[in-house]
Amino acid sequence: MGLRYIERTAPVAGAAPVRVAYAINRRVGNAVTRNRVRRRLREALVAIERERPSSLRQGDYLFTAEAIVAELPFEELKRMVRCATERAYEHG
């Protein structure tokens, strides 16, 4: 799983403070698998934010993923997403 993060210090008119996009390649699988990966990543972000409100910084996030994301236990996926966001904050 990969993550690109771009910090936004000034609010963009009409934009949410946190914007998230998913780039799931066709090599991951068919449309059903790609959608499952996208839903699982989205739910992991929601769960992280629910556990620690405002833990996601304002900015733009672009997640990429491999097929294994569809099969990982949810707690493991959540840990991976949390680690990816923390690394992204460190490296900008």
Give the domain ranges of the chain.
2-7+27-91
Task: Check the CA dihedral 47-50-53-58 and report its sign.
Answer: positive
- Strands 18-23 and 59-64: what pairing? parallel
Nearest residue to 41 via CA among 15, 80, 8: 80
Question: pLDDT digit string (tens) for 1-19?
Answer: 899 998 887 766 766 788 8
pTM score, whole prediction: 0.85
- Within 1-92, residue ranges assigned H as helices are 31-51, 74-91
pLDDT score of 45: 93
